[in-house]
């Protein structure tokens, strides 16, 4: 069941809210059991065969967590974490490892295993619970509380990744009534996320998917083809994943459980370090606290810090997918983050950066991230190399034949005019321009919903004009209602969120 589907919006969600409104008056336990039942029904709507996997995994990790709160055993923690990682490895990496062995001419196996939806995020939540339980940071709770923390349907499939010390506390101290203001904010978040997914991400997919299908068949991309597809995918991935996160946060608020911020205008970042503080924030925090710091972090000298950073980002790439392109993407991000840290060290005495330097930093960051998304999206390293080669003009620069008369002088600089394979002219330029306008000039959802998220807005250093700020009232209801209505009109064929495959 997809958030961007008629069955979810007009059947599952209203039924869940109605039942929740009835049972919450009977107390916290009734509300928790109702939300847990709804979450399991939601997941079973995808494939009920894997419902038992979630239940058995939850029982095992809950038992381990309870034992860790009493014993603080490092051995038990290691065994439990390894058990979760082995389960993830079986479903997600066994086939990849078999193919890698075959490519090296070594004995191998042929594995065709269906990846259970959301198992990567489920594994992260289980591991976070075990670690926090050993540290004594988990509040007293019952199994139904823990099961809801794991299976809560807004974040079950693709996050945000929630610490048990955040969501579990709210579950344990759940209120006894629905809050009208939180419902209004939740509906606003959901509407914004739905518009991002349906009106922007899915529209951009029409330029990205045919291009990479052509590339997988041996296509040789030109300059415009490569840049058009690279930019379209950068915006598509952002609108798709941040749209899901907005919808998840909105659903959580409707049901009285606040999920964490996951995106804060990442394409406004002025450095790669800044980018990872804004993009998939909950993943960055998870990797920092449970991998980077245990590996040494910044406490044991720069060499140890940079090695930990490189390992962390490489494993981040591997977590995203079982493929060489994901590993390469993570490794390159790690290398460039190390370079970013070295640059900051060398320029630390230069004082605060001026406007020109900030603009240069933004441009370099955006172009770097866009180029690395090519590696992330490509099916093979060879395809990624061809697209990146096209972006720097290795296949030559060709403009549409229709502009030959107006731009004939460019022929003297080696520019050719011919039929362009997968660049759709003004329609694609218009889509890219609209996307750039949204991500670079408009406030993000959290900034727009001021004053609820005023602290976040101040921290990111971007003020929202008073006439744009959200408030509960008829005008906002009409605006968001209109946006939602348009999204529903374009939602005839729901598409899966990109991060479902990870």
Catalytic residues: 320
Answer whether the bond into residue 451 is a cis peptide, omega within 30°: yes
Element (H, E) at 400: strand 397-400
Helices (H), 157-222: 164-172, 180-195, 202-216
CA-CA distances (angstroms) from residue 367 to 4, 165, 267, 269, 453? 31, 37, 10, 11, 30
Nearest-angstrom CA–CA distance, 95 and 97: 5
Angle between helices 28-47 and 143-151 (to 10 degrees): 40
Output the CA angle 405-409-410, nearest 5 degrees: 100
* Gyration radius from the chain CA atoms: 24
Q: Is 214 left (phi over 0), alpha (psi -120 to 50) or beta?
A: alpha
**CA–CA dist 92, 116 (Å, integer):** 9
How far is Cα of residue 199 from the mean position of the Cα atoms in its chain? 18
Contacts of 223 (CB under 8 A, 6+ apart): 390, 391, 393, 395, 396, 397, 398
Cβ atoms of 170 and 257 closer than 8 Å? yes
Contact indicator for 60, 128 with CB cutoff of 8 Å: no
E strands within 149-282? Answer: none
Q: Which alpha helices (DSSP H) does 347-501 contain, by range?
A: 355-377, 381-391, 425-441, 445-448, 454-460, 474-489
């Amino acid at each position: 069941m997809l958030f961007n589907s008629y069955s979810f919006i007009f059947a599952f969600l209203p039924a869940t809210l109605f039942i929740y409104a009835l049972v919450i008056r009977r107390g916290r336990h009734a509300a928790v059991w109702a939300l847990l039942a709804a979450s399991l029904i939601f997941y079973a709507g995808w494939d009920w065969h894997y419902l038992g996997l979630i239940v058995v995994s939850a029982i095992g990790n809950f038992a381990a967590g309870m034992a860790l709160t009493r014993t603080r055993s490092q051995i038990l923690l290691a065994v439990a974490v390894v058990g979760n990682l082995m389960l993830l490895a079986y479903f997600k990496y066994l086939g990849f490892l078999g193919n890698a062995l075959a490519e090296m001419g070594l004995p191998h196996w042929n594995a065709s295993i269906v990846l259970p939806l959301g198992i990567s995020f489920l594994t992260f939540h289980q591991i976070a619970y075990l670690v926090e339980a050993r540290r004594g940071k988990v509040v007293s709770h019952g199994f139904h509380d823990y099961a809801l923390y794991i299976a809560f349907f807004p974040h079950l499939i693709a996050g945000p990744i929630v610490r048990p010390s955040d969501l579990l506390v709210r579950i344990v101290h759940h209120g006894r009534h629905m809050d009208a203001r939180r419902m209004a904010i939740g509906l606003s978040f959901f509407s914004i996320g739905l518009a991002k997914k349906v009106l922007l991400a899915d529209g951009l997919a029409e330029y990205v998917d045919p291009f990479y299908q052509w590339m997988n068949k041996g296509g040789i991309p030109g300059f415009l083809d490569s840049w058009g597809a690279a930019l379209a995918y950068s915006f598509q991935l952002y609108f798709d994943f941040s749209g899901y996160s907005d919808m998840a946060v909105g659903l959580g608020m409707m049901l009285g459980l606040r999920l964490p911020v996951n995106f804060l205008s990442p394409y406004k970042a002025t450095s790669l370090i800044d980018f990872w503080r804004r993009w998939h924030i909950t993943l960055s925090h998870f990797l920092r606290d449970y991998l980077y710091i245990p590996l040494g972090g910044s406490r044991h000298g720069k060499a140890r810090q940079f090695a930990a950073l490189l390992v962390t980002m490489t494993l981040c790439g591997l977590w995203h997918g079982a493929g060489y392109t994901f590993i390469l993407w993570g490794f390159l991000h790690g290398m460039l983050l190390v370079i970013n840290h070295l640059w900051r060290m060398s320029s630390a005495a230069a004082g605060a950066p001026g406007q020109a330097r900030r603009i240069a930093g933004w441009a370099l960051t955006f172009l770097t991230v866009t180029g690395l998304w090519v590696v992330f999206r490509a099916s093979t390293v060879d395809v990624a190399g061809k697209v990146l080669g096209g972006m720097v003009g290795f296949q030559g620069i060709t403009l549409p034949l229709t502009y030959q008369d107006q731009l004939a002088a460019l022929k003297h600089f080696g520019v050719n005019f011919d039929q362009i394979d997968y660049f759709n002219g003004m329609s694609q330029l218009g889509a890219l321009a609209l996307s750039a306008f949204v991500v670079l000039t408009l406030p993000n959802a959290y900034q727009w919903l001021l004053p609820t998220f005023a602290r976040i807005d101040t921290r990111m250093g971007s003020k929202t004009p008073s006439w744009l700020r959200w408030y509960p009232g008829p005008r906002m209801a009409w605006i968001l209602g209109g946006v939602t209505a348009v999204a529903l009109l374009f939602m005839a064929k729901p598409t899966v969120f990109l991060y479902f495959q990870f």
